[in-house]
Structure 1
Amino acid sequence: MLSRVEGGESRSAVQRYRRAECSRELFDLQYGVASRRQLYAVGVGRWDVRAELRAGRWARRGPQSISNVTGVLCERGRWWSALIEVGSRAALDGVTALQAAGLTGFIEPVVHISMPKSGRPRRWPGVVVHETRRRSPADLVATGIPRVRPAVAAVRAALWAASDRQAALILTMATQQRLVTVATLTEAMTAVRRHRRRKFLLRVLVDLQGGVQSMAELDFARMCRTAALPEPDRQVTHDLGDGWAVVDNEWTEYDLVVEIEGVHHLHGPVTIADALRQNSLTVRRSAVLRIPVLGLRTEPARFLNQVRDALIARGWQPG
C-alpha cells in the first residue's frame, strides 16, 4: 500500500492514503456513510477519524455516523445515517422500505424504521421508530441496506397509514408497480392477528385480486339498500350495434348506469374499452357514473350521494 506513495510525501499524507484505502469500500457500499464501529473494524482508528473530521475531509452526521461526503447526503445516505443512529438492529420498514425497493410517486416526510421490542432504539430527528413484536429475521432482505421485504413493508405501511384511504393507496401502488403480488401481501397479512384495520385491508386485498369484481358489486347493492336508494339491476346486457356491453348496475327507469371499476381497469387496453363502452351508452342517453372499487371502500358516502343526486335529477323521488 505504501509503495504507491511518492517518496517525498509526508507521513500525514501516507496516513491519509491508508485511511482512504481502508474506508473506501465501506463508504461506497453505504452511500458515503459508515458507523464509527464499522470504521474501527476495518482498521481506521479513533485518532484517524478525528483527524479526518478536523481536516474537513469527513463529516460527522451524528454521534455514531460518519460520512466521507461533506455536503448534502443523497436519500439512501440519509437512510444509512438514520439506521446507524437508531441502533444496530434497525431496519427500514413501511413506506421507506418500499421506497428503498423502488416505490415511486408516494411522498412521505419521515423515515420509518422498525426495531424488535428488545432492541432499545435511540431516537433520531425525522425518524419514526416502530417497536414491534411482529418482526422476525425472515422479514429482512438479506443484502443491501437493512430493510424488510416489500410485502411485509407494504402491509405495515398500510397498518401505520394515517387513514383507510392512504392504506388502500399504498397497497394499490405497491401492487401496480409490481413490487408485490396479492399473494405475497396475503401471506404477509397472516402475521396480523389483531388490528383495527385488519378487516378493511383484507377487503382491499380481495378487491386487488383479479376476477372478484362480483363481490364489490354485491357490496354496492347492499350499500344502496342501507342508504335507502332503489336497488339496481345487475349485469344488464346492451346491444351497441357493433357489439354487446354488460354493465354492472343499472336503473333502467332512470337511464342511469353505475360501473364499479377494479384495479385492472387502470391498464391501457381496459381503459380504452371502458371509454368506448361508456361513450356508446352515453350516446344512447344513459348517464354513466364510474366508481373505483377502492373509492367504494374509502369514500362510500360521497359516491352514494352522487348516485342519489343522479337518480333525483332523473325523476326518482325519495320515499
Structure 2
Amino acid sequence: MRIPGDDASRLEWLLFGQSEVLTWAQATDVLPPGRVRHLVASGRWHRVCRGILRAAPGGPYTREQHLWVAVLAAGDGAVLAGLAAARAGGLRGMWRHDAVDVLVPHQRRAVGPIRRLPPGLPAVRVRRARHLPATDRQVGRPARTSMARSLVDAAGWARTDDEAQAIVAAGCQQRRVTPAELGAVLDRLPRARRRHLIRQTLHDVAGGAEALSEIDLVRLCRRQGLPVPDGQERRRDADGRQRYLDAYWRRWRLHVEVDGAHHMDVRHWAADLRRQNRVWIEGDRILRFTAFDVRHRPSEVVAQLHAALTAVGWRPAPLGAVVAALATTTAPKARRAG
C-alpha cells in the first residue's frame, strides 16, 4: 500500500497501518454500520472470520495480513508470540510453521484455536500468558513479544529438543539477541518449558559455538574425552574482512569447519576454498565435516579428530589418572578430628 497523503481519512490511515485488516468495531467506528455491510455485500470488502474484515475483494493474503488476522481475531491484549513474533522481528530459518501463536492475558477466558479461517491462512493458536511484563513486549505493527521472549517461547513450544536448540542458536548466531537477554527471560519464567535445555544451549553459545552443529561438536568432544575447542577464532581474510572459524584448538593450531547446507552453494564453496587455503598457508591444520556427519556419524568424526589432535602432539590422559581425578572430586571430605 502507498503511504496515505496529508489529506487522508482516518479509514485510510487505519487500513495502511493494519495491512487492510480491521475488526468490525474498528470499521463501524469510522463508517456507518450500513456502509460497512454494503461494502461486504458488494464484494469490495471481504469477511475473514467472525468480527474480522479485509478491505479487499479477495485473493491471496500477504504475510502481514496473516499476522494481523491472528492478533485481531484473538481479541484485546493479544500479541504475536513464538516463531511468528521472532520472524516478524527478523529471525531467518526454515522451521515448520503450522500455526501463528498469539499470547493473551492469563485472566482472559481461554480462547483456544481460532477456527473457520479461509483457505490459505495458517491456523491461529491462542495461548494465555500468566507473566508478560512490559520488558517482554516489543513495539511493532502488530504488537509482539520481544525477540528474547519470542525465542524462549518458541523453543518451549517446539516439536523436538533439536528444533528448540536450533531456534535458540539461530537467534544468537544471527545477532538478533544475546545469551544474556535470553537468560534474563528464563529468570523471569521459572516454569518455562525446556528451561534446562535452553540454559545448556546458552552456555555453549556463550563459549563461542553459535550454530547448532558447532554446539553438537563441542558436546561430542566432551563425551568422548577429547579436548574442547577454544570457541570461535577471529581471522581476517584476504580482503581484510573479519571472519570466524567454527572451532579452533589454539594450543595445537587445529581448525575445524562444520559445513551446513549453505556451503553447497557454488559461491560459498569458492569462498570456503579460498579461506581453507589461507588457513593452510598460515600454518594451521584444518578438518571439515558436514553438520549431518557431526550428528549422525559421530564415531567417524571422533576418529578423525582423535587422529588429527594426536598428530599435532595431544596425548589423552591415562585411564588411571582420569579415575584418580574423578575419585578425588567425588570423594567425601574427611571430618576433622574432634
Following superposition, the deviation at residue 89 of structure 1 comes to 1.9
Report the equivalent of 2:44: 57
- Please list every run of 5 or more consecutive structure 2 residues that lacks an aligned counterpart in the other structure: 1-7, 116-122, 231-246, 309-338
Change (3 A) 1:271 1:115: farther
| 1:312–1:24 CA distance, 2 compared to 1 (3 A) | closer
Q: In the alignment, what sits opposite 2:16? A: 28
The answer (yes or no) to whether the contact 2:218–2:228 under 8 Å persists in 1 is no
Do the aligned partners of residues 233 and 21 (structure 1) sit closer, same or farther apart at CA in structure 2, a change above 3 Å counting? closer
| Residue type at the aligned position of 2:106 | K
Q: Is the 8 A contact 1:217 1:260 kept in 2?
A: no
Identity %: 24
Asked whether 1:100 is paired with 2:99, we answer no
Q: Determine which of 287, 298, 306 is the counterpart of 1:304.
A: 298
Checking the alignment, whether the CA contact within 8 Å between 1:139 and 1:148 is kept in structure 2 is yes
CA deviation map 1:40-72 (0-9, x unaligned): 233x13222111111111111111111112222
Question: Structure 1 residues 68 and 35, CA, compared in 2 at 3 Å: closer, same or farther?
Answer: same
Question: What TM-score results when the alignment is normalised by the length of structure 1?
Answer: 0.66
The answer as to 2:187 corresponding to 1:197 is no
1:122 to partner: Cα distance: 5.4
C-alpha displacement of 1:277: 7.4
Provide closer, same or farther for how the CA distance between residues 208 and 95 of structure 1 changes in structure 2, counting only shifts above 3 A: same
Aligned match of 2:131: 134
**1:170-221: CA deviations, max 9, x gaps?**
12222233322222222222123134522221121122225589x9988545
Superposed displacement of residue 150, structure 1: 1.0
Does the alignment pair 1:90 with 2:78? yes
In the alignment, the residues of structure 2 paired with residue 111 and residue 233 of structure 1 have an alpha-carbon distance, to the nearest angstrom, of: 39
Count of residues in Structure 1 that have an aligned counterpart in Structure 2: 264
Q: Which runs of 5+ in 1 are unaligned?
A: 1-19, 226-230, 236-245, 315-319
Change (3 A) 1:54 1:187: same
Structure having the higher helix fraction is 1
Q: Which residue of 2 aligns with 1:288?
A: 287
Deviation by residue 1:261-300 (Cα, 9 ceiling, x = unmatched): 7x9xx9x9x977973477579x99x8936487x997xx4x
Higher mean Cα deviation, 154-163 or 169-178? 169-178
In 1, are the aligned partners of 2:152 and 2:168 still within 8 Å (CA)? Answer: yes
Distance in 2, matches of 1:40 and 1:80, equals 18
1:81 aligned onto 2:69: yes
- The higher radius of gyration belongs to 1
Alignment-mate amino acid for residue 123 of structure 1:
P
Match of 2:107 in 1: 118
